[in-house]
A and B are shown apart, each in its own frame.
Chain A
């Protein structure tokens, strides 16, 4: 009914290109997170969908309706902002009711919608409270309840957890997830926080320099980045990128590096220069003694990180790599040098243009 279609949309602020010739569709019944660092254009895109900014070029459609020139109030959208927008001095119930009064609803239907929205967000106990008495997370829940009870075609969230403390974020996320499963609208959620996006999104549209570099389900985006940027941006720390020597041989490419015991053969003979192997820190295996497929690396330092895991900063010929290890053995903890093994199944190979190479790769054993 109301899929959002972005067609060749650009937005310039003076010399700055915030959104760059973007074409994209936001599907119904799904949460699409616009994720990216500050300045990537995600908020500008959201504001153009809402009608708060006009595109410099291009068109925006809701379903078949061209909304490019429509003011926000004619777009039938709900929006939740960084700061919870509530009317102070009136009750939670009345806050949700006010916008509904403009709709021609029977009293019974209005009441039903309000009660439904309050139930979805667990606000029933607070219906009679003045919003001035509420904390930020409850206020933000009121703002969400008001947006959904209006039954817009599209609901936009602009970093709604920015002003919520850490403990309440867990609560807000819980309700957001429960809620989003029940809604059939297009939901667009802007955030710069990868954990928030990975946790809440059905699909993540990763943005860089005004463009969407990749859109996928969270785990696919994390495991199979199509661009070096996705590998780097997601993960804490992000992917390691190992620069490799690449030479063509019989229509295939052989990749060699001091991080590899034996070459990786890729089924593509035209990779060119600047090829790198991406591998996530948690996918590097560490051994305390030499094994068949491992190379020796110096332990530069190590420290404890999220969930008590150890992050090893390793070096071969003054080039660094990071490995994340759960429960290292006492021997590994004492080691000043370790043997590292990169499994070919975990490698993502990028060409000189930072794009993923979609070709089978295999590790050549030492015999052949």
Chain B
């Protein structure tokens, strides 16, 4: 039995608010599954359902193949790292990490061993005798992770544990969490609302958007070849550019037209007999908006609203008439343009994805030349 955790058609309402609807998810032993979604998309609720702190309105939850509908949280044997990592202030770091094991009434010798092993994996061996107040934010978060993983089990849940930490700490903890998962023979189910973090950590990503999981896959595969608008829209930093568009057909060639440009399309489904004027969303990632050279045809003129310098790369926030557009380029040393300047930009039709406006399903991609 390879699947250790499974949600089947799970729905959950809080009063009139539908938080989760028809959620399907199955996670294997050894998986590092990241559930990625915007803030307040229901990620924590999903974890609470798995831990048994909430009951689903509909659907089934299976742990290690067993329906846990009537199983209390205590019996589920899940390791958990919360977002809010409150440590007991009067207990040493050792005692903080050991606490879940004390509750399970493990013998002292075993506790000592397990705590030391967890501390070694998270590089906090030197801190075991200290009190929480003597630790920095990043050290405290390592302690919280250690406390979550001392429980010997095969399922660990992480509720956005790096939120609120500054990004240098996140950089180190991301590396360590990956290594930790590789060392432990277990499934990690990890939630975050940071796209860069989810791409860096995940073996597989589930995109939780507007109440349900829209797409699941390997991070690189779904980033490069998204099948659903949600993936294109939210998985990536900066976020993708979206344009309203409509389809039209000239002889046998399907075309897609937006306010600013139009282009020929290849449809995903051969023999698509799309109704004319179907409303669609055209999406293009910021790295696929290119600075046009003098010879390029099919260019748009945009005004630079802000130039943000990330060090290795820069984000240009542009305005085309009253519409905003975001592009990313490697940082250049020479400042040949600045805020307020006009620049000429273009797009390769192959980087344009077209989605059905009402369902979010992908319909096809651009091909050939972009016309403005």
A-side residues, CB < 8 A to B, are: 37-39, 170, 173-174, 177-178, 192, 194-195, 198-199, 218-219, 222-223, 232-238, 280-282, 301, 303-309, 311, 324, 326
Contacts and interface: CB of A to CB of B under 8 A. Distances in A.
Given A174-B339, A307-B286, A198 B236 contact: no
A195 B308 contact: yes
10 contacts: A174-B306, A177-B306, A178-B339, A199-B308, A199-B309, A236-B311, A282-B313, A304-B223, A306-B238, A308-B236
B313 A199 contact: no
B312 interface: yes
Contacts of B237: 306-307
Contact of B311 (A235, A309, A311): A235
A222 to B, nearest CB: 5
B166 interface: yes
Given A170-B317, A238-B168, A326-B330, A304 B311 contact: no
B359 interface: no
A45 B367 CA distance: 57
Contact of A219 (B220, B287, B305, B333): B333
B200 A311 contact: yes
Contacts of B14: none
Nearest to A232: B168
A64 to B, nearest CB: 35
Contacts of A174: 305-306, 317, 339
Given A306-B328, A307-B286, A311-B200, 10 more contacts: A173-B308, A177-B339, A195-B308, A195-B311, A199-B309, A236-B311, A238-B171, A305-B196, A306-B313, A308-B288
B312 A199 contact: no
Contacts of B171: 236-238
How big is chain B's contact interface, by range? 35 or more
A44 B217 CA distance: 47
Contacts of B308: 170, 173, 195, 198-199
Nearest to A178: B339
Nearest to A239: B311
A198 B306 contact: no
B104 interface: no
A309 B178 CA distance: 20
Contacts of A233: 168
Interface string B148-173: 00000000000000000011100100
A214 B117 CA distance: 40
Interface string B170-201: 01000000100000000000000000100110
B220 A218 contact: no
Contacts of A39: 136
A234 B313 CA distance: 12
Given A192-B166, A219-B333, A234-B311, A306 B196 contact: yes
Contact of A305 (B167, B199, B286): B199
A229 to B, nearest CB: 11
Interface of B: 136-137, 166-168, 171, 178, 196, 199-200, 219-220, 223, 236-238, 285-288, 305-313, 315, 317, 328-331, 333, 339
Nearest to B199: A304
A308 B223 contact: yes
Contacts of A222: 311
Given A199-B309, A235-B312, A282 B287 contact: no
Contacts of B331: 219
A161 to B, nearest CB: 12
Closest 8 CB pairs of A and B: A307-B328, A198-B309, A308-B287, A282-B312, A235-B311, A307-B287, A174-B306, A304-B199
B219 A309 contact: no
Contact of B306 (A38, A170, A306): A170
Contact of B310 (A38, A236, A301): A236
Contacts of B315: 307
A109 B28 CA distance: 71
B165 to A, nearest CB: 10
Q: Which of A237, A304, A305 has the most CB of B within 10 A?
A: A304
A307 B331 CA distance: 12
A30 to B, nearest CB: 16
Nearest to A181: B339
A37 B310 contact: no
Contact of A306 (B136, B309, B310): B310
Contacts of B168: 37, 232-233, 238
Contacts of A236: 167, 171, 310-312
B313 A173 contact: no
Nearest to A310: B220
A308 B317 CA distance: 17
Given A218-B309, A303-B220, A307-B238, A38 B339 contact: no
Contacts of B339: 174, 177-178
A186 B315 CA distance: 27
A171 to B, nearest CB: 8
Contacts of B220: 303-304
Q: Which of B285, B310, B331, B339 has the most CB of A within 10 A?
A: B310
A113 to B, nearest CB: 25
Nearest to B137: A38
Q: Which of A170, A223, A232, A307 has the most CB of B within 10 A?
A: A307
Nearest to B182: A301
A176 to B, nearest CB: 10
B311 A194 contact: yes
B166 A38 contact: yes
Q: Which of B285, B306, B330, B333 has the most CB of A within 10 A?
A: B306
Nearest to A333: B220
B311 A198 contact: yes
B312 A37 contact: no
A282 B333 CA distance: 14
A195 B309 contact: yes
Q: Which of B220, B223, B312 has the most CB of A within 10 A?
A: B312
A198 B223 contact: no
B199 A303 contact: yes
Q: Which of B238, B307, B308, B329 has the most CB of A within 10 A?
A: B308
Q: Which of B168, B237, B305, B339 has the most CB of A within 10 A?
A: B168
B309 A308 contact: no
A61 B144 CA distance: 46
Contact of A308 (B166, B178, B285, B312): B285
Given A37-B166, A238-B171, A307-B328, A173 B306 contact: yes
